Structure 1
Amino acid sequence: MIKPWFIPLEDVISFPYTVYAHTRAGKDRETLQEHTKLCESYLTKILSERNIEQPFLKIARMFGLDSEEKSLELYFEMLFQVITFHDVGKINPCFQSDKMGNADPKEFAIQGLKGSAHSLLSAVIYLNHFMQKINSIEISKLQKRQLSIFCLINGFVISRHHSNLGSIKEFLVKFSDNGDVGTILQGMTLKHDFMKDPIYNMIGGLYLKKWKNFRENLNEEGSIAVYTYTRFLYSLLVSCDYYATSEYGNGVSVNAFGNDSEIYKFAESYEGTDLLKGIREYETGVSQPKGINKLRCDIFLEAEKSLRSNLDKNIYFLEAPTGSGKSNVSMNLSFQLLKAGLQKIYYVYPFNTLVDQNLETLKDIFGKDSAIFNKIAVLNSNTPIKQEIRHKDESEGEDEIYTQALLDRQFLNYPFVLTTHVSLFETMFGDERESAFGFSQLQDSIVVLDEIQSYKNKIWSEIITFLKIFASLLNMKIIIMSATLPDLSYLTSNSVGVAKLLQNRDRYFTNPQFKSRVNISYELLGQEINLEMLADYIAGQDIKKNKIAVEFIKKSRAYEFADMLAEDERITAPIYFISGDDNRVDRAERLKIIKENSEKGLILIATQVIEAGVDIDMDIGYKDISKLDSEEQFLGRINRSCKRSGKVYFFNLDDASRIYSDGDYRMNKELTLVNEDMQLILNNKDFSPYYNTVMEHLKESYNCSYNDDENLKKFFNALVGGLDFTSTAKRMKLIEDSDWDMPIYLARDLIVDGEKISGMEVWEEYKKLLKDQMMPYAKKQVCLSNVRSKLNYFIYQIKKTSTIEFNDMIGELHCISNGERYFKEGRLDKKSLEEGGSMFLDM
């Protein structure tokens, strides 16, 4: 650990009067010095628990700042003083007068500042101090140029610590001839004389020129290193600032920052399960499992052995057949990495459904030991803020408990996290202030990414490039797993730091236990099929014994077919429906029925939501074709247990290229099952020719495009290395916002875990909380998270062109009090909604 040191504010600033940082009713005002020292103490605490200096040291070495001892010392001094200087701009007389009620300041305006603003002034004072120090130190010109760049970045971070990250260019423009900084410096020199340092010449566009010259010489690795440095430092600054402000306001002292000295107990508990004992007995020759269980054990042990042989790598690819127990394998790999010194675990899934499903799996494993299970936190919109993550001090009051819970959630202070790809990408790339709060928590972590190929392949190159360099700088180990896994390292300049955990994947994929688990029929592809014909085919099956899944790529088509079968006298088996419209309670209940009903026949009609990892085991499947990846995922829902025989019929009803509107190259006709070559690939389970074609196209499209919005090198150089966080966030967004939909709240009564929940009562509780101006902030946010998790049971998306009548509205959320009339037999009745003037989105 590098011990931080801090400059006394009095050595930099003259204090002609008492300067306050915060005020709160019923408490003495907090001085700037008091707040600063508290922030500094939090940085010291975080440094003592987590080796946060390591990423900064790696980046310093990348830019040669370790070649001279004085350079490295000043590099860390500037880094630590970001905490010291971040609020020094609160000397602004307008801030003191308007925000702190301080009557001492005699002058009330500093030209160039907007009223009581202080962050830009803090950055100016910081730069004024350290640019002079850089110029006076005896080091080479190259070292001075590099240090001045990091000094600029630090100033930018200070200037944004109360706002979204935006772009550094917006900050540097303020230093031009006509920018705000020159006016600020002139005003301070003439009127206020706060700064003890002489005024350093910062204007004239020099900083913009320096930044442009630096940025233009960055490669991809350097660009992401600068991006990582900035985001990591921003995360640390706002963490220390928040912790200190909360301690002043609520008396809550934070002493745990996400690491857990007993996280090794996850591995100990896991090894004690019957499943692991059985695998270890097989490993030592004590027992001999049969059939598919033997293959699962082999995959488990080969992946474990391969991991141990490649601990120097950062990215691990786990490509294993559907039904081979990838979740179990990845869990073991995570715990093995804990033994190697990693500190945190993130399990990341495409959908909230899978987060909930895997939480249940973890509950089965660790639920008997509440001390271990309570360390697991779920981060998504469906789950309230966790309050039992740590041991409660009996002396704590209600406010302290709520404050700690909120801080833990905002800054991801958990040792074991389950979340979604969208949530993780917000932490990595979102430009909103709250998005970056938890970025520093990625250090020393294990990240398991499930089904990453589910998202648009337009940004596969960006994803793998970021992940490789994040992992290297932040000491992360990333496990990427799927049954259809492209070798994403092909899209980067090299495959250094990457390991495949199953060297001979064909040994498993071509084994009859997996390859022949499902018989595939393409007979319907040659026909112009319609819903009536599809109903005839299903009616011809033995529906009394078989569980049949039918997947459509268009949601409205699934609704239409479900209504058709419900009226078909030939269909005597129960019909279940699952789509993106379902709330998690209804979906979980249907999945439970389907999973537990192993003997009787049933029919499941669904959209793509059942593809990735949903734990159902059907006998017969019918699917409208889309991406080849999706076809294999669907096959994974058929004869999953390998106890019977399974069959899947593919048909071509709707044009998938019109459904997937993100320009995904995989939707080109020659890469779908219309092409017999793709049928052969799906039959043989060798997806490499398919992915090679896709990735060649991606490489070509990026390299041939000279448009800044498309060209990969320009993206990393101009936007990522240029610290344009807004544009980077836009490019790396996994799911685009729709301009055509609106949320609607269908209030009705539900039974959740045996408890009756009234949709209107939840709605009224939400309104009451929003209006409550007296409740302490932390308590209000925790209570709102509890209510919002219940709100999700009743929220659906409809087209904005809807003319449906509603009873109440909060923001853009429209409430219908008698929502039950839009449901039939527990399923959303789309027809009645249409008759009411509303059309649901196709997904």
Structure 2
Amino acid sequence: MVTPSLSSNLYSHPSRALEDHLIGASKLIDIFLAEKPEPIRNKLSGISHVAALAHDIGKATTYFQDYLRAAKEGQQQQLRSKKTSHSLFSAICAYNVAQTAVDENDFLSPLFVYAVVRRHHGNLIDIMDELSMFQDEDLDLLHTQLDAIEEQSFAILMQKLVAAGLSIFFDKHTIREWIGRFRQELNRLRKHVRRLGPGVTYYVTLNLLYSLLIDADKSDVVLGDPLAFERERIDGDHWVENYLSSAHLPSSPMNSLRMKAYAEASAHPIDLDQRVYSLNLPTGMGKTLTALSFALRLRATLESMRNSPRIIYALPFLSIIDQNSKVFENVIKASGFDPNSRVLLKHHHLSEIMYFDGENEYEPDEAKILIEGWNSEIIVTTFAQLFFALISNKNRNLRKFHRLANSIIILDEVQTIPVRYWHLMNVILRDVANTLNSYVLTSTATEPLLFGSEEPTYLVDKRFYFSTLDRITLVPAIASPITVEELAHREKPKKDRTYLYIFNTIGSAREFYDLVISIGLSTTYLSTHIPPKERLNRIEDIKTGLYKVVVSTQLVEAGVDIDFDVVIRDFAPLDSINQSAGRCNRNGGRRGIVKVVILQDKNGRSFASRVYDGVLLKATEKVLSNRNQISEGEFLGILDEYYSMVSERISQAESKSIVEAVEKLRYDREPGDEEMTSISDFCLISEDYPKVDVFIELDDEAADIWEDFCNLKEIKDRFPRKQKFDSFKADFYKFVISIPTNSPNRPPIVGELGYVSKASLADYYDLERGFILKDERSAVIW
């Protein structure tokens, strides 16, 4: 018998004992599982602990231990080889231990343990490929690695793991037997996997197991302390009410209507058996606060049943995340709570790497782990982060998957989900919500038929609010296409009104700006060819009423809280037109006008056809044709007509093929295999053209940041270099735009990034219109 106090003298990382890391990861899984629904805890508890306690056992070889020691001496790369790998060796051990922890007829659980341990440093692949990727050279490697394990050290390690809950003790002799018969095991498993039935249950189970393991693994290495993952108790069901009371909103018909909608949603009975809710209100009706209030009330109801769901608030656009996160912060403060990172967390790919728990600010590497793991009660994030946590094969995306269990997911501006994915989202969201004991609330002014015939539960009487409002008149002037020049002549801005012109391409917006600027009214321009810092400054100036005329691309369409008397919109799908209309007379003052025109280039091609799906445009044209004017009260009816038409005409083949991939656990495919769709084919945003990022050295702040960026090359080690960049990444990207890769005016490339210095601004950047393309074909969008 080995004395428990003895150390194996084996290490998982340079300063972390192997047994401590494996046991630490297992303890973190305990913490993660404790907040999951009981069926999930019962199903995953045993096998998740096997995965945690065995996932790095292959690091016990002298090859890996020598490799770690070499890291301290700066000679690590010289020893790195296949012999220092550990995932396959660990996966075989984990698979066989898992077999002893489950019913003998359960072949899937051990297989899933094998897959997640095998891929815990990489990405998931097609489960059938996983069962086929075992060659003679792998067999030879495993035996070589086994021979390089010191028996006494391994015995001490195993004693400690068994004491921590591993179901069996095993030694080198046992492992040799496992390796010898593993090929036969894989053949047996392939027969079972081929007979898997439909449904996403297997996908959810495998994702959960993978997510738990990789989150526990990364978190233990960087943080180690389980206290960092303690939940924060919040009593938030009255937060929004307190905030509204303290805001002292002025009396007005619009505010009265907003409060009526808020009160109606607040009084809506909560049915815990209903998983999908909808908040469908016209633009400017306070959906953000109403949605948050309902989510907090639902959380309080669930909390009374010893269940504390996280609230995940997802938006499609980075441009409005900061805006809405700030609103939430003010809501929390109004009730005397501290909106620290454990309570409210903002996460997107440009998030500041800062995590403060109310007492301590974590080091950047620790903060990154906590932020990317969604360790907070309310998470404000992007559609990209959320949907790739749901549908992906990638390690960095799926790490968050287990946070979706026991969650309340708010999907704001849900109409931006591509129509081709409606069926996919319906299946995944409903099944995940039911399986993981979660809830979904969609929030939109233009509700798509996302859930088909299975309508969600509506929080308010949407028809009442749409029919009551009469703020704007929509004028479809689409009988004949016109040029940008003709638009400038026909729709000249008048001094007594404010105007927003929205274009489909950067080129057409610039052309119009050049024509209208001569009128002499205060005018500004917005597009993604203006760096985010300057763009946001202009939006703030617009909010203060500094400009009479704004010329913009579609970036102002949803969520940007700006208001105009007149909106002129180049032709677009009806849901986009409706969002544009939301920038007109938001507060119910003087009647607003929203005019839709069809703009064409000098060759007679419409700009809309370059940007949008033809089916969506034809459906819009059909709905708007023969209508001279449309009141706001009619919007809901024509939107219903439009979405019904779209649902019949847009193919859901891509959705169905990804659903099939989900059911078959086809996470990825072999390079060159284009016949089968895989989960990795899911793409939320399709690139319209190849792009290159360009840093614009716009001011002194930009110059300092660029200098910091250039100094990164002095940091030779990849991880400290990345950590340093993370510390100023958010500020760096305030000066980055994207331009076409084939732009004739492409600036010098530094690494993979274009660079426009302050000295060369005149050649590449116009202070009013942004990047100088020197190509006025008007094909670039946004």
TM range (shorter): 0.7 to 0.9
Structure 1 residue 824: Cα displacement: 7.5
Matching residue of 1:81: 50
Pairing 1:55–2:40 present: yes
> In percent, how many aligned pairs have the same letter?
20
Deviation at 1:409, TM superposition (A): 1.9
Give 1:85 deviation, angstroms.
0.7
2:589 alignment partner, SS class = coil
Who is 2:165 aligned against? Answer: none
Q: Distance in 2 between matches of 1:406 and 1:711?
A: 33
Matched with 2:530 is: 582
Residue-by-residue CA offset, 1:539-567 (whole Å, 9 max, x unaligned) = 2x5x222111111112210011111212x
Preserved contact between residue 385 and residue 786 of structure 1 (Cα < 8 Å): yes
Q: Residue 519 in 1 paired to residue 473 in 2? A: yes
Aligned to 2:161: none
Query: What one-letter code is carried by the residue in structure 1 that aligns with 2:591?
Result: S
Please say if residues 348 and 450 of structure 1, whose CA atoms lie closer than 8 Å, have aligned partners that are also in contact. yes
Rounded Cα–Cα distance in structure 2 between residues aligned with 1:723 and 1:811: 32
Q: Letter of the 2:429 partner, please give it.
A: L
Q: Find the counterpart in structure 2 of residue 344 from structure 1.
A: 310
Alignment-derived partner of residue 535 in structure 1: 488
Q: Which of 543, 551, 562 is matched with 2:502 structurally?
A: 551
1:499 to 457, 464, 473: 457
Partners of 1:260 and 1:343 within 8 A in 2: no
Note if 1:735 corresponds to 2:685.
yes
Q: 2:644 aligns with which of 679, 683, 692?
A: 692
Instruction: Decide which of 91, 97, 101 is 1:123's aligned counterpart.
Output: 91
Number of residue pairs matched? 729
* 2:301 matches 1:353: no
CA contact (8 A) 1:384 1:782 kept: no
Q: Work out the CA distance in 1 between the residues paired with 2:37 and 2:56.
A: 22
Q: Is the 8 A contact 1:595 1:616 kept in 2?
A: yes
**TM-aligned CA deviation for residue 420 of structure 1:** 1.3
What is the TM-score when the length of structure 1 is the normalising length?
0.79
The one-letter amino acid paired with 1:115 is K
The aligned residue for residue 332 of structure 1 is 293
Q: Is the 8 A contact 2:746 2:754 kept in 1?
A: no
What are the residue-to-residue correspondences of 1:257-296 with 2, within 5 Å? Answer: 257=229, 259-261=231-233, 263-264=234-235, 266-275=236-245, 291-296=253-258
The answer as to whether partners of 2:569 and 2:597 remain within 8 angstroms in 1 is yes
1:285 corresponds to? none
- Structure 1 residues 277, 97: CA separation in 2 closer, same or farther (over 3 Å shift)? closer
Secondary structure of 2:122's aligned partner? coil
Does the CA-based 8 Å contact 1:40-1:84 persist in structure 2? yes
Are the aligned partners of 1:798 and 1:838 in contact in 2 as well (CA < 8 Å)?
Answer: no
Q: Equivalences for 1:275-674 in 2 at 5 Å?
A: 275=245, 291-306=253-268, 308-340=269-301, 341=303, 342-367=308-333, 371-372=338-339, 375-392=343-360, 401-490=363-452, 494=454, 498-502=456-460, 504-511=461-468, 514=469, 516-522=470-476, 524-539=477-492, 541=493, 543-566=494-517, 568=518, 571-597=519-545, 602-654=548-600, 655=606, 658-660=609-611, 663=613, 665-668=615-618
The answer to whether the 8 A contact 1:350-1:451 is kept is yes
Structure 1 residue 638: Cα displacement: 0.6
AA aligned to 1:144 is E
* Partner Cα distance (1:56, 1:672) in 2: 52
Structure 2 stretches of 5 or more lacking a match? 72-80, 150-170, 601-605, 670-676
* Structure 1 residue 199 corresponds to structure 2 residue 177: yes
Shift of residue 346, structure 1, vs aligned partner: 1.9
- Aligned pair in 2 of structure 1 residues 474, 681: CA closer, same or farther (>3 Å)? farther
TM-score (norm 2): 0.84
Alignment check: 8 A CA contact 1:347 1:449 kept: yes
> Which amino acid counterpart does residue 517 of structure 1 have in structure 2?
R
Contact 2:474–2:594 under 8 Å retained in 1: yes
How many angstroms does 1:611 deviate by?
Answer: 1.1
Q: Distance in 1 between matches of 2:192 and 2:627?
A: 50
Letter matched to residue 292 of structure 2: M
Q: 1:118 to 1:197 in 2, by over 3 A?
A: closer
Letter paired with 1:207: L
CA 473–637 in structure 1, closer or farther in 2 if over 3 Å, else same: same
**2:133 aligned partner:** 174
- Distance verdict in 2 for CA 1:373–1:240, change over 3 Å: closer
- Does residue 20 (structure 1) correspond to residue 10 (structure 2)? The answer is yes
**What letter matches 1:347 in structure 2?**
Y
Give the secondary structure class of the aligned counterpart of 2:203: helix
Report the 3-state secondary structure (helix = DSSP H, G, I; strand = E; otherwise coil) of the residue aligned with 2:132.
Answer: helix
What one-letter code is carried by the residue in structure 1 that aligns with 2:12?
H
Decide whether aligned partners of structure 1 residues 196 and 210 sit closer, same or farther in structure 2, where only a CA change above 3 A counts.
closer
Partner of 1:527: helix, strand, or coil?
A: strand
Amino acid at match of 1:550: Y
Aligned residue runs from structure 1 range 747-758, under 5 A: 747-749=697-699, 757-758=700-701
Find the aligned partners of 1:670 and 1:36 in 2 and give their Cα distance. Answer: 58
Matched residue, 2:82:
114
Q: How many Å apart are 1:506 and its aligned residue?
A: 1.4
SS of corresponding position for 1:834: coil
CA distance in 1, matches of 2:643, 2:747: 48
Which residue identity does 1:92 align to in structure 2?
T
For 1:770 and 1:840, how far apart are their aligned partners in 2?
A: 36
Contact 1:326 1:481 (8 Å CA) reproduced:
yes
Look up the match of 1:4: none
Residue 427 of structure 1, CA deviation: 2.3
**One-letter code aligned to 1:171:** E
- 1:93 deviation in Å? 3.7
- Aligned twin of 2:27: 41
* Residue 842 (str. 1) matches residue 774 (str. 2): no
Q: How far 1:97 sits from its partner (Å)?
A: 3.1
The question of 1:210 aligning with 2:189 is answered: yes
1:813 deviates by 4.3
Tell whether the 8 Å contact from 1:458 to 1:664 is kept in structure 2 after alignment. no
Deviations 1:643-679 (A, max 9, x none): 1111111111143563336x57423356555634798
Structure 1 residues 649 and 268, CA gap change in structure 2 (3 angstroms): closer
Q: Is contact 1:254-1:404 (8 Å) kept?
A: no
Q: C-alpha distance in 1, partners of 2:760/2:330?
A: 35
In structure 1, C-alpha distance between the alignment counterparts of 2:680 and 2:718, rounded to whole Å: 35
Q: CA offset at residue 580 of structure 1?
A: 2.3
Cα displacement (A) at 1:328: 1.8
Please give the alpha-carbon distance, in whole angstroms, between the structure 2 residues aligned to 1:696 and 1:669. Answer: 10
In 1, distance between residues paired with 2:711 and 2:541?
37
Asked if the contact 1:315/1:478 (under 8 Å) is kept, the reply is yes
Q: Which residue of 2 aligns with 1:230?
A: 206
Map Cα deviations across residues 716-769 of structure 1 (whole Å, 9 max, x no partner). 3344432415765543321134662111111121xxxxxxx5212101112224
Query: Aligned with 2:594: secondary structure?
Result: strand
Indicate how the Cα distance of structure 1 residues 55 and 577 shifts in structure 2: closer, same or farther if over 3 A, else same.
farther
Structural RMSD (CA)? 3.5
Question: 2:709 matched to which residue of 1?
Answer: 766
Unaligned stretches of 5+ in structure 1? 1-7, 61-74, 103-112, 138-142, 280-287, 394-399, 750-756
Displacement of 1:167: 2.9
Other structure's SS at 2:228 match? coil
AA paired with 1:165?
Answer: L
In structure 2, give the amino acid aligned to 1:614. Answer: V
Query: How far off is 1:158 after superposition?
Result: 0.3
Structure 1 residues 54 and 528: alpha-carbon distance in aligned structure 2, compared to 1, 3 A threshold: same
Cα deviation code 1:217-246 (max 9, x no counterpart): 4223xxx22222222222221222223322
Farther-moved stretch of structure 1 (792-801 vs 180-189): 180-189
Q: Is the 8 A contact 1:553 1:607 kept in 2?
A: yes
Kept after mapping to 2: 8 A contact 1:376/1:415 = yes
Amino acid at match of 1:695: S
